A = this chain, B = another copy of it.
Amino acid sequence: MAQKNKLDGAEADELSAKRSARSPEKYQRILDAAIEVIAERGYFQSRVSDIAARAGVADGTIYLYFHNKEEILLGAIANAFSAFMELAQAELASESDPREQLRRLALLHLSSLGSNRNLAMVFQTELRQSARMLAEFSQHQLKQYFDLIRSVVRDGQRRGIFRAEISDKILANCFFGALDEMVTSWLLSDREYPLSGASEAIVDVILRGVECPPRP
């Protein structure tokens, strides 16, 4: 009779513990299947049984690893996202020039998503959806990436490389927006031109808009 929608800490921990105790490989297989299916049909039109079938497990097995359908989406996004974030952070660590850092981020952004259409689809559509559905959670994810960009921008401003009279939020937004839109339109296009091919051009445009003009 009494249902709880929010997990108390103990329960959540219990399930987390199970995940690793049971088959971590199966856990990952479900996440991968979820990305695939959700990319194809969208979250709301994906059936849990579709995901189970794609993962090669029984319907009920899903619920040994996730509390409910929503958590599958969350888990799949978080999983894919954190992998991407790690790459991004590594990319920045090996380079100190803000210009170059943005260049590398752009390439990573486009090549990561460009090489994984399913992932891109989920990021461009479901991540937004879920940002609405589950504000706290996925907004946090997206914001993490956005903040990474902002920190590079602020660094560039502090060092006199990027224009300081414009808010770092807006500069970062122009950068991220240009990349993001590129991915979206690439996804909607039928021809599969290489997405990362646009990287140089975009960076070129944005950097020029962002950089301090050369002193004459």
Residues in A lying within 8 Å of B, measured CB to CB:
1-3, 5, 42, 44-45, 70, 121, 124-125, 128-129, 131-133, 135, 139, 146, 163, 166-167, 170-171, 173-174, 176-182, 184-185, 188, 198, 201-202, 204-210, 213, 216
Contact = CB atoms under 8 A, between A and B. Distances in A.
A195 to B, nearest CB: 12
B128 A174 contact: no
Contact of A206 (B125, B132, B174): B174
Given A177-B178, A205-B210, 10 more contacts: A1-B5, A125-B129, A128-B128, A146-B185, A163-B205, A166-B201, A171-B205, A174-B205, A180-B180, A208-B209
A176 B181 contact: yes
Contact of A181 (B131, B132, B139, B177): B177
Contacts of A181: 173-174, 176-177, 180-181
A1 B68 CA distance: 11
A181 B132 CA distance: 15
A177 B166 contact: no
Nearest to A135: B188
26 contacts: A1-B133, A2-B5, A44-B45, A124-B128, A125-B132, A128-B128, A131-B184, A163-B205, A166-B201, A167-B201, A170-B202, A173-B178, A173-B182, A174-B202, A174-B205, A177-B178, A177-B179, A177-B180, A177-B182, A180-B181, A181-B181, A205-B206, A205-B210, A208-B208, A208-B209, A209-B210
A33 to B, nearest CB: 19
Nearest to A139: B188
Contact of A173 (B45, B135, B170, B185): B185
Contact of A42 (B45, B133, B202): B133
Nearest 9 A/B pairs, CB to CB: A177-B181, A209-B209, A44-B44, A177-B177, A205-B209, A174-B178, A177-B178, A208-B209, A170-B201
